[in-house]
Amino acid sequence: MPAKKPAATKPAATQSATSRPAVKKSAAKKPAVKKAVAKKTPATQPAAKKTGAAKESGAAKKTGAAKKTGSAKESGSAKKTGAAKPETHAALVRRARKINRELAETYPYAHPELDFENPFQLILATVMSAQTTDLRVNQTTPALFAKYPTPEDLAAANPEEVEELIRPTGFFRAKTRSIMGLAKALTEDFGGEVPGQLEDLVKLPGVGRKTAFVVLGNAFGRPGITVDTHFGRLVRRWKWTEETDPDKVEKAIGELFPKSEWTMLSHHVIFHGRRICHSRKPACGACPIAPLCPAYGEGETDPEKAKKLLKYEKGGFPGQRLKPPQSYLDAGGIPAPPLGATTTTG
């Protein structure tokens, strides 16, 4: 019986032996599983990376496109709002002086549009030009100058006779008081002569800085800026200044130009304001300074339509007070002086 025990254990050993290979096989399969997992993991990880990279690159592309689009919009809006960008003082000076050069070429015949032969006649005509046109004053002054050629004569005149003579200019009673008071002051304080100093001129009845500079610049050859309605309107339209007070406008514009150019600058701007750059409807399409004007487009931009807006009645050309025929316009529709035109005195 004891000899049978080893035999009894053999099947167990055999069974365990036979089971071990199975375990080994399963163990052998485990590496295969590991390999599969290992293979699967590397295979899936790059795909995930690729997918992530694709997403990232797609997002980057979108972001880049958005950035480009945004920058394009920004650059486009910057271009559109370029006019709103603050202009440096140096750039303003360059632009303002270039405008004046262009106007000088357009209006080489620019001059004071009041007819006069001496400082006394000029100061009287300038005082009477308030609230009326130069053409109306020029139609009225010949009779006045003929009857009262000197300050002494006008100071001793009958006010009613003077009123009747200057009635066409409007506000004739107030203007009569001004010019007769002016004549009396010249007679009593300046020996019957028009003074050539600003501080003396502004003391005279009816004479402000504007009138004073008209007299100084055109009768005495002393530079001055004449800030009338046209001048103030245009320099604000051109963004030379935002000031509205005439004295402040005069100071601001005086800083942009040499003093020697002040008088002719005034003539150029006033001529342009009367002929092309009108208050309500500028003739933008016939304007020689359109590329330099920040207000371009406020008026008519079509060249043919703009030509019809040009005006000549207020003073016209030197020696010619009527509107010239179309033949006197140059190819661009810019006013040009008629052949044989003569410049008025002063």
Q: At which residue do the structure tokens 């050859």 appear?
A: 221
* Helices 229-237 & 246-254 angle (0-180, nearest 10): 60
Residue 279 Cα to chain centre, angstroms: 15
Torsion of CA 171, 177, 182, 188, to 10 degrees: 170
Give dist(CA 135, CA 107) in Å, integer.
19
Long-range pairs for 281-290: beta carbons < 8 A, 24 or more residues apart? 281/309, 282/309, 283/307, 283/309, 283/310, 283/333, 285/333, 286/310, 286/332, 286/333, 286/334, 288/102, 288/103, 288/105, 288/106, 288/332, 288/334, 289/99, 289/102, 289/103
**Catalytic option among 115, 134, 175, 210:** 210
List of residues 6+ apart from 46 with CB closer than 8 A = none
Hunting for tokens 């309500």 — which residue is that?
A: 280
Q: Is 239 a catalytic residue?
A: no
How far are the Cα atoms of 30, 65, 139, 213, 331 from residue 336, in angstroms, in the given order?
Answer: 104, 54, 24, 27, 10
Strand, coil or helix: 193? coil
Active-site annotation holds for 39:
no
Closest CA to 107 of 337, 346, 338, 277: 337
Both structure tokens of 132? 């009326």
What are the start-end ranges of the H helices in the chain? 4-80, 89-106, 119-128, 134-147, 151-155, 159-166, 172-189, 198-201, 209-219, 229-237, 246-254, 262-275, 303-307
- Any idea which residues carry the catalytic annotation? 210, 228
